[in-house]
Amino acid sequence: MAKKIKQHPPASPAALVSNKRRRLASIDDASPSAPSAPTVTPSGTSAGPAALAAQTVHIVAGSKIQAKVRAVMSALGASNSLESKPPSAADADTTRGDVRPSDASKNLDGVVLVEAHAAGASKLITVVEIAKRTLDNADRPWWAYTGVKGTMEELESRGDVRSSRRQHVHDLNASANELVDGSAGEGDEEEAFEPTGRERTISEKKVRNVAGLFVYLAIKPLPSLKAIHGEQCSEA
């Protein structure tokens, strides 16, 4: 006997639309979730080392070491760990303006940022080591986080230096002529000339990346800095 083939009636358009919607809904449910937004601090910046609004002590090649050590200890709130020696007038002038004031709500107590360009890196290391030793002698723990950074600065070209030297010599000669004959007519006439195109090109500034060293010194651990720069701590 021949088997009878069952024929299903064609689905209605409404049923087809319903099945299509059901498939689209299942695809949407299987799609990956959107990535979470990065953590943002109340100040509006991404959470991380850059958000640390610590007091800053700048060190240059001509800085006085003892004055900078006092500034670092003052920023840490450990000034009583230093010797009870009143600062001299020279130290007072040097320490003035070393610590940059910041908003009290953003400032981190017990944390100081010490930074310097390459020329002052050796003095920065000396200042930080003296501060560590002072804290050790006072039986106070410390944590240090060291890193490097680059800063874009304008570089004076050789042509600009030569032009400034020529101008300086010209001014000296003009002053000497005025003292001799008491006339300044020639100098006024020469200043009336406009610089040529080459002189304008020479006066253009160049920019270079200047390397710098920075150390976060703290009297409490900072996990966010440890994850990036590593950590050095006292034995206490």
58 vs 165, which has greater pLDDT?
58
Residue ranges of alpha helices (H) inside 47-157 are 65-76, 89-95, 121-137
Residue 215 lies in a domain: yes
Q: Is the pTM of this model over 0.95?
A: no
pLDDT at res. 153? 75
- What is the C-alpha to C-alpha distance for residues 81 and 180, in angstroms, rounded to an integer? 63
Residue 13 lies in a domain: no
CATH number assigned to the domain comprising residue 133: 3.30.110.20
What single-letter DSSP state applies at residue 4? P
152: Cα separation from own chain's centroid: 11
Burial class (CB in 10 A: 0-12, 13-18, 19+), 195: exposed
Residue 5 lies in a domain: no
Of 45-54, 93-102, 187-196, highest mean pLDDT: 187-196
Number of domains in the chain: 1
User: CB–CB of 75/57 below 8 Å?
Assistant: yes
What backbone phi and psi angles, to 5 degrees, belong to 77?
Answer: 75, 25
Residue 114 lies in a domain: yes
User: CB–CB of 99/74 below 8 Å?
Assistant: yes
When pLDDT is averaged across residues 75-104 and rounded to a whole number, the result is: 50
Q: Write out pLDDT tens, residues 205-230.
A: 788 788 899 999 999 999 988 998 89
At residue 44 the predicted structure's pLDDT band, cuts being 50, 70 and 90, is: very low
Residue 102 lies in a domain: yes
Q: Write out pLDDT tens, residues 4-17.
A: 555 555 555 555 55
- Domain extent, residue 133, equals 49-152+211-233
User: 232 CB contacts (<8 Å, ≥6 apart)?
Assistant: 143, 144, 145, 146
The tokens describing 39, both together, are 């953590």
User: CB–CB of 142/111 below 8 Å?
Assistant: no
154 vs 198, which has greater pLDDT?
154
CA atoms within 13 A on the CB side of 86: 2
151 vs 116, which has greater pLDDT?
116
Residue 23 lies in a domain: no
167 vs 111, which has greater pLDDT?
111
Residue 81 lies in a domain: yes
pLDDT at res. 50? 43
When pLDDT is averaged across residues 39-54 and rounded to a whole number, the result is: 43
Residue 90 lies in a domain: yes
CA atoms within 13 A on the CB side of 25: 6
When pLDDT is averaged across residues 173-195 and rounded to a whole number, the result is: 58
